[in-house]
Homo-oligomer: A and B are copies of this chain.
């Protein structure tokens, strides 16, 4: 089974790549830059925003299945970036190129921000109303709608993997888990908001594995890529403080709560579990312990190099 993976050098993509290979797929990686550390996989370095890139990639990879993860992810800016429009177009071109080349299945990444989050329950793929509010989420939702209709007309399977909250190796430094880890590793206070918001967190390595499971399954339609367990930001911060042996350095309430922050964005993980057999390979505590170790090593390396 030849799988073409886009966004293969991204935060999620690099783990999806490994997980697909581990499951025996013949993976063809597409990304702007092949990571220097990777010598195992077949890579095509190109920017899918270039008008002809999708056709070139599909002609080179000759995939049976596409897993499309590439999108703009610039921290903060991606919510309203005009690049969202470019990624809608690039994604439609990719779906068309893939369908024309005869793929049997197309899988792409959506987001939990497509839902109207229930105040006291989990987002479910079928039952929960969609209400994307940002340009990012609206662009993802619109992409799904068009590709689903296009592929349905052509009898090509389509799955849409809605990602929730990720953390883990390779994460951007300004995000929650790295920010707390780096403060703790530096023996400095980790200043947080009250942290009342409840989220579904999943280690990015498990997210990559879940995406590989969905890609190689028969599942069609929307599916949450999530653990199924909600946890508050405060709990995550407390866990990290405890794991670091520095609980007193976690200062909840030191930063103001963000205005308009939704109280709860959690997921039912039932569809993922039932229809693909996937289960996360590590608990939140194990994942956070790894994250702390990762940032300790990063800091040590940078310290050594300086």
Contacts and interface: CB of A to CB of B under 8 A. Distances in A.
A132 to B, nearest CB: 8
A150 B96 contact: no
A75 interface: no
Nearest to A151: B135
Interface string A133-155: 01100110111011011100100
A85 B135 contact: no
Contacts of A85: 92-93, 95-96, 146, 150
Contact of A88 (B80, B135, B146, B153): B146
A133 to B, nearest CB: 8
Contact of A96 (B82, B146, B149): B82
A89 interface: yes
B142 A135 contact: no
Which of A95, A139, A141, A149 has the most chain B CB within a 10 Å cutoff?
Answer: A149
Contacts of A95: 85
A135 B100 CA distance: 16
A84 B153 CA distance: 13
Contacts of A134: 149
Contacts of A84: 146, 150
Interface string A110-143: 0000000000000000000000001100110111
A51 interface: yes
Contact of A89 (B92, B135, B145): B92
Copies of this chain in the oligomer: 2
Interface string A24-56: 000000000000000000000000000100000
A67 B85 CA distance: 19
A146 to B, nearest CB: 5
Contacts of A150: 82, 84-85, 135
A88 B86 CA distance: 11
Which of A86, A95, A142 has the most chain B CB within a 10 Å cutoff?
Answer: A142
Given A82-B96, A92-B85, A96-B85, A142 B146 contact: yes
A138 to B, nearest CB: 4
A142 B142 CA distance: 5
A96 B49 CA distance: 15
B138 A146 contact: yes
A134 to B, nearest CB: 7
A257 to B, nearest CB: 24
Interface of A: 51, 80, 82, 84-86, 88-89, 92-93, 95-96, 100, 134-135, 138-139, 141-143, 145-146, 148-150, 153
22 contacts: A51-B51, A80-B153, A82-B96, A82-B100, A82-B150, A85-B95, A85-B146, A85-B150, A88-B89, A88-B142, A89-B93, A134-B149, A135-B146, A135-B153, A138-B145, A138-B146, A138-B148, A139-B146, A141-B145, A142-B142, A142-B145, A142-B146
